[in-house]
Amino acid sequence: MSFLLAFVVGGLLAAVAQFIFMLSRIEIPKLLIIAFAIGAVLSAIGICDTLGNIGAGGFMITLIGAAKAVYESVMALFEGAWTPLCIVTTIFAALTLLGVLGGMLRMQIEEHDEARSAKK
């Protein structure tokens, strides 16, 4: 049953994000920032805890779940614990680095494809 709930909660969150994207045609990075901000607000008012209890992994894999992790690490920092914030910051830095490297690799591949197309 927990797999079904994880699928439903994660799927509903993804469907809502897709619906917002289709209606507004907002750029994906802006939509992700908005989802992150919504996750921080929902964490502060306790809704993320409920969704996390119901959907478990299906919720935590979403961007809103990531915002909950950041919110909780900052709250732990206010209580005097540095470790959670350091861990979350390191994870986000690593993911950002991977994103930059992936973008650079894609640019190289596209340039190579364009050069090969121009020779034909």
pLDDT, tens digit, 9 for 90 and up, residues 9-68? 888 888 888 888 889 988 877 887 888 788 778 878 888 778 777 777 776 666 667 777
Q: Which helix (H) or strand (E) holds 56?
A: none
* Percentage above 70 pLDDT, the chain: 94
Q: Per the confidence metrics, is the pTM higher than 0.75?
A: no
Higher pLDDT, 118 or 61: 118
Within 10 angstroms of residue 4's Cβ, the number of other Cβ atoms is 9
Per-domain residue ranges of the chain: 1-81, 82-120
CA 45 to each of CA 49, 56, 74, 100, 108: distance values in angstroms, whole numbers, following the listed order: 9, 18, 15, 33, 45
Over the chain, what is the mean pLDDT?
82
